[in-house]
A and B are shown apart, each in its own frame.
Chain A
Amino acid sequence: MKRHSTLSNEFWLLKRMVRYDKRYPLFLLASIAAKLALPFLSALLPAAAVAALTRGGGMGHYLAVIVGLMALYAGCTFLRDWLENRNNILKADFRMEVGMAMLMEKTMTMDYNKLEPAEGQKLLSAAKNMAGNPMAGGIDGMLRAVEPWLRSLLGLLLYGAAAVALDWRILLVLAGMTLSGMVLDTVVRRYEERTEEESKQNFREQDYLLSQSDDPVNGKDVRLYRMENWFVTSLLGVFQRRWAWRRGLNRRRAAALTSDALFLALRDILAYTVLVSSFLAGRTDAAGFTFTLGILATLTALLKEFTQVTDNTLYWNIGFDNYRVFMEQDSAPPSGHGAKAASVRRPPRVELRDVTFSYPEAETPAIDHLSLTLEPGEKIALVGLNGAGKTTLVKLLTGLYQPESGEILVDGVPVRDFDQKEYFRLVGTVFQDVSLLPFTIGENVAGREQFDREQVWEALDRAGLREAVNALSKGLDTSLTQKMEKDGVDLSGGQRQRLSFARALYKDAPLLILDEPTAALDPLAEADLYHKYAREMADKTGVFISHRLGSTQFCDRVVYLDSGRITETGTHQELLARGGAYAKLFEVQSSWYKDEKKEDGKHEET
């Protein structure tokens, strides 16, 4: 993975920030000016007071000096606070409207096979944190660093010159302080870096245990198995590891703090020695004395700020870079060669030619040189044990994944000739894990906000859900779940399955794929849905996956999958007659039902 330097990432962000709001550089400069002027004024104020008192200019003079300086000070203060807020709002807006919006658009439109794997999910979650959580640094942290960094750099030049004018040895002490501070801070940071993974894991474990303990869905198991001691012991174990870590960190920090304080003492002794002798020699007066001390304090603070900001930014950049890498990854879905969904004959012939697909880091391919042809209007039942490759094959057929080698043709046109979105028009799906959006029922069926209500009702009707939706006071406009609307409803597992079926019916795509769509249903509801599936698939080319082997009888052909290959294919009857793996599987499942017909009712193990 390509990594970017801190400066490169700062420029990358600033470019987008300036594009987002042209006034940003202006705000930035004004803020720097106000913030540099303030410490200068606060050093000047007591010095000017002392000068007015010791040099003898009368009361009027004193009043004029103080009131004038204070007015200037007040102006700068207001400017500083106002700009600070202004810039914070700007940064927050930018983070949301640009950073977050870009991220969400990317995840919604990027190629699915970049998003789904664990690695993609990991990068996404890191990137999301950078855009969503200002505490973690991220976009906010990187932008926040710009102002203090520029300001402290500029301030160091200005105030540094003033310090040199006093005595160059002071710079030497300050340089020593900075160097020693940097070394000791590095010790702290090294320790933090060395333990970063561990500490992150530690916090993850804490969050996990805490979130699991108050989640009602876990409540039953927790109580029945008396898990509270296990949980609390684990949690305390997590804390104890963290405390040891924190003690180590604080020990190292104490060293850095002590060195800092020592150098400050050295600076003060040196500065006072020089200033006192210069005062006694008459080279400087009381006002100059006070002013110089103020300037020195400011210089020290700026130096500290500069090293700290640099340090933080270098650290934050590591995290932030995840965001940039995520955003810049090449993840456009296949754009094809202009094949049109509209010109595909319905129902289409679907052909897989020597298709192979492997997941990253998997040793064996999930689909292994598989060839299969679905004639127009043919329905196949895809059967196999868990892990045989059924779901992967479905993802290839739906166009979410692309074959590693070999090709898939629909009506003679290679799938890769279609733009991905165009190809999706050809496919209707009902997945085992029904995913619905927290929008209205109508929108979920139609997939858009404007839709033909009659058609949606018809689809619901055919999926057997009309009555249930009709019973809701808001009908099609009822929201699902309470995530978006307070009066949203929760559908039962069976209803969700029917809704997702209605969605496929509304889409009316020529290729229909049903992946284990009845898992959680009772026998009567299950039988009812089988009939509906059989009816609705009549004029489509279809793939049906189920563990209930009997239910596949409405399919024209059974395809038995094992380790990514087709090992048997034929009609249900043919495969039973052949006595292969499918027949064995069917025997296993049906024995309990079939034995019924025998007198003794015993079941032999096969």
Chain B
Amino acid sequence: MKTKKRAEFFRDCRDLLSLIHRRRPTAIPAALVTALLESAFPFVNILFGARILDRLLAGGEGVMELVGWMVALDFVLGCGSRVLRWSCRAEALTADELSMAAVAEKCLTMDYQQLETQSIMDKLTRAGEGVTAQGDLFSFLWSLSELLGHGLTVLYALAAVSLLFLPADLPAGGEGWVRALNSPWAALAALVLALAAPLACVPLVRRKNRLSRELHQRSLDGNRRFSTYLSIACDYQLGKDIRTYAMDGMYFAKQDRFWVGFLDLFRKYNFRRSAVQGLIAVVNLATVLIAYLFVGLKAMAGLITVGMVSMQVGAITALAGAVRQAVELIGRVDLQRKYLKEYTEFLAIPSEKYNGTLPVEKRDDGDYDLEFRDVSFRYPNQEQWSLRHVTCRLPKGRKLAVVGPNGAGKTTFIKLLCRLYDPTEGAILLNGIDIRKYDYGEYLSLLSVVFQDFKLFSMKLGESVASSADYDPRRVWECLEKAGMRGRVERMEKGLDTGLFQQEEDGVELSGGEGQKLAIARALYKDAPVVILDEPTAALDPVSEYEIYSRFGEMTAGKTSVYISHRMSSCRFCDVVFVFDGGTIVQQGSHEALLAQDGLYSRLWQAQAQYY
């Protein structure tokens, strides 16, 4: 079990280091060199200090020469290691940033279904929580480089301490205990005793780490609640309702009750942890005591010089300190790699959507034939079918309206068409071939979609229309024109370079209607043969709605288009209507034909038309 754990530890560390190394090959060498210099630095004073003292006690000849060497070395190592530390830090931060970019890219390209799968995204959440509590990839590399530094310190210190093992010429009249002190065995015994203290601390350190882990685990739930309370208090949208409905009393009562337990948890753990921490510090002092006693006795017996005393005490203290800190660091590195390996695992998840290889035939006449053949679908972990036995053909080059009550399966229908999900049963065919067989990217290039919950990002307006950092401004203006947004954008000072929303400097806020028009412009820029608009006028006033309605024909000329809406009026300008209910298509036909039937369609129509 223990070896297995150790193997896992090394494997994870290796994976993480290779993740870092792939992104930034200079980061790890920089950390190595820095550790080398940093650990050497304190030994300059330890070595030279002793020799200076001895030289002084011996009459002071050549002391200033030694001082000169020491100061010069101090300067070079001290200055060099600190300047290097900062560039090493920069390297490590860069490695971390590039790794985050890799994670972002993975999120952006992995299967949509995976993106919506809790267990997969939980990896990121866990890694994120770990990063908050224990540090990111940067601190991981940092810890490792510190660990290496402590290892080197141990080596340097052992080299210095090895001098103690050389027996001296026994002074005249040496008694028994002097001879005993002079033997290498005595030195070994003293060294073992001195190192016993930091090793005795190992269980204490373990305990401290366990307490930290436990606290982290037990506070997850409370942390979540706390941030919920905080976001409630600071959310001005909720603020309206909280004030007018006088809900602050209830809020504070709940918060106060939660607060007591939450803070007590931290207090309890911190008290326990602080006692352990104090104990560790005191136990470690035993090393210094033993060093002084042993080395002092040796000096008193005349076996070593007085200068050697300060040097050996310095070396043994440094040795024990390095061992102690290394023990603590290993614990931290172990915690860090446990969280961070979620990243490497996350990056290694394969995407299934990319299995298709067929290219999509490029056609100028838009002759793409899309067909649902007995398609059924249910969302992962759901028992209920969202679509059941749907068979239909999208009217090529014509306008299709999709209507039905909330929850009838309209949006799911679109999601399947967009390959965001694959059918549970049945198949969707493009020109007679299952869409799963096509290259994913090529298939998606056939579709321009404005989702009901479309997203615009806080970046430059022109880039947002083109979904790319470089774009053809002339075409962007054309699309804005078609979507009815040109005038508004022309009035903006920076035109296409205007930032959107508050994330951008001087970013403009868009009203719901303007956002919808921009999303439509984006769809137009893509210029795909199939255009899908899902509830595009929900937030619009009648005039803007009318604009969209009247432009729809122009926007989709020669294309296959799908228009989903609760506004039944939209069915008037479409050629075919599909009526969804309970996951199936219950009616299909032209508006006039459907209205003539006594069915769901005429009821939906009447519900709205009665007012006009």
Contact = CB atoms under 8 A, between A and B. Distances in A.
A236 B107 contact: no
Interface string A93-132: 1001100110111011100100110100100110010001
A388 to B, nearest CB: 9
Contacts of A4: none
A231 B108 contact: yes
Contact of A224 (B224, B248, B447): B447
B577 interface: no
User: Which among B72, B309, B503 has the highest number of chain A CB atoms within 10 Å?
Assistant: B503
B346 to A, nearest CB: 10
A384 B86 CA distance: 60
B566 A526 contact: yes
B251 interface: yes
Contacts of A204: 503
A63 interface: yes
B542 A589 contact: yes
A589 B545 CA distance: 8
Contact of B244 (A228, A424, A590): A424
A445 to B, nearest CB: 10
Contacts of A596: 572, 595, 609
Contacts of A85: 270-271, 273-274, 277-278
B165 interface: no
A258 to B, nearest CB: 6
A205 B271 CA distance: 39
A213 B107 contact: yes
B590 to A, nearest CB: 10
Interface stretch (B185-193, B230-238, B371-379): B230-238
Nearest to B262: A96
A289 B53 contact: yes
A524 B609 CA distance: 11
B186 to A, nearest CB: 16
Contacts of B224: 483
A236 B105 contact: no
A206 B526 CA distance: 27
Given A50-B309, A70-B288, A89-B267, A77 B241 contact: no
Interface string B309-333: 1100100000000000000000000
B225 interface: yes
A239 B105 CA distance: 15
Given A276-B56, A520-B538, A595-B572, A63 B101 contact: no
A526 B607 contact: yes
Nearest to B572: A592
Nearest to B242: A108
A73 B233 contact: no
A588 interface: yes
A66 B612 contact: no
B169 interface: no
A interface SS class = helix
A124 B233 CA distance: 11
Contacts of A236: 101
Contact of A132 (B230, B236, B271, B300): B230
A232 interface: yes
Interface string A457-484: 0000000000000000000000000011
Interface stretch (A144-152, A347-355, A368-376, A434-442): A434-442
A150 to B, nearest CB: 22
User: Which among B107, B267, B463 has the highest number of chain A CB atoms within 10 Å?
Assistant: B107
B608 A523 contact: yes
Given A261-B75, A589-B542, A435 B237 contact: yes
Interface in B65-96: 67-68, 70-72, 74-75, 78-79, 82-83, 86-87, 90, 93-94
Interface string A34-67: 0000000000011001101110000100110011
A544 to B, nearest CB: 13
Interface string B439-482: 00100110111010111011100010001110000000000000
A81 B283 CA distance: 13
A73 B292 CA distance: 14
A78 B280 CA distance: 9
A264 B75 contact: yes
A269 interface: yes
B104 A279 contact: no
Given A276-B60, A448-B249, A593 B53 contact: no
B166 interface: no
A291 B455 CA distance: 69
A521 interface: yes
A222 interface: yes
Contacts of A73: 285, 288
Contacts of B604: 522-524
B56 A254 contact: no
Interface in B278-295: 278, 281-282, 285, 288-289, 292-293
Interface string B49-62: 10011001100100
B429 interface: no
Contacts of B292: 45, 49, 66, 70
Interface in A342-398: 384-387, 398
Nearest to B277: A81
B243 A424 contact: yes
Contacts of A108: 233, 239, 242, 248, 251-252
Given A89-B267, A400-B240, A524-B604, A547 B299 contact: no
Contacts of A226: 441, 444-445, 467
Contact of B541 (A227, A386, A503): A386
14 contacts: A49-B292, A59-B300, A62-B300, A77-B281, A89-B266, A116-B239, A132-B230, A206-B100, A214-B103, A246-B90, A438-B232, A483-B224, A492-B407, A601-B592
Given A230-B463, A233-B469, A589-B569, 10 more contacts: A81-B277, A89-B266, A239-B97, A250-B87, A258-B79, A448-B247, A526-B608, A586-B612, A588-B543, A588-B546
